[in-house]
Amino acid sequence: QTVVTQEPSFSVSPGGTVTLTCGLSSGSVSTDYYPSWYQQTPGQAPRTLIYRTNTRSSGVPHRFSGSILGNKAALTITGAQADDESDYYCMLYMGGGFSVFGGGTKLTVL
Amino acid sequence: QVQLQESGPGLVKPSETLSLTCTVSGYSITGGYYWGWIRQPPGRGLEWIGSIYHSGSTNYSPSLRSRVTISVDTSKNRFSLKLSSVTAADTAVYYCARAPDYGDYVWGQGRLVTVSS
């Protein structure tokens, strides 16, 4: 069974840059997996940030960007703000209409 | 602007069937997207459950396939989730979403369903 991996936690200073990654327990992530990223604050529904590797969803600030770095998908936040403190989930499309979420990364801004 | 709203019982007994409905407004469910269900147990991460096209074509998570049924009612612009033989491990917030394969999801607010006798 394929597992989508993410760092459990990360911290960044206000104004700093942080890159979160999304990998596979076996193999490399490519654009074929349509990597997408979601932000979730406690008690709220997730919000789509990035889809299809690097396309920002409607209304998402430009400080959020997506890419492929090596064998993983990546979400970079440039100029982190206090309200970026959230859980971040990636999702990969496995083909055949089936997708899998990563375990999520808890980002602290301090 | 598309909006989605989950509805259904918030409490289900063990071994029974969980049933939820997602009503879509501001967009026709026949408009060409897949529509999906995702869940999140308390304090844990997101889990993809399955999706459906307006034609009735479905996709399910392999881990839940034996217990899940997703259906669509285009006349009422809504789709539904049934999860059978539930246990406490199925306690979660259940989200519906406009769910294209490429990931630009539009999410509902979520519905907490607790499995308990």
**pLDDT tens digits, residue range B21-64?**
999 999 999 998 999 999 999 999 999 999 999 999 999 999 99
Biggest CA–CA distance in chain B, Å, is: 40
Nearest to A48 among B51, B105, B109 (CB): B105
**Could you tell me the pLDDT band of residue A97, with boundaries at 50, 70 and 90?**
confident
Closest-CA residue of A relative to B40 is A45
Yes or no, beta carbons of B59 and A98 under 8 Å apart: yes
Mean pLDDT in residue range B4-8: 98
Share of chain A above pLDDT 90, in %: 95
Token pair recorded at residue B112 = 């907490």
d(CA A50, CA A52): 7
d(CA B94, CA B39): 4
**Chain B closest CA to A110's CA: distance in Å?**
22
Residues of A with CB under 8 A from a CB of B: 1, 34-36, 38, 40, 45-48, 51-52, 55, 57, 89, 91, 93, 96-104
Instruction: Name the residue type at position A5.
Output: T
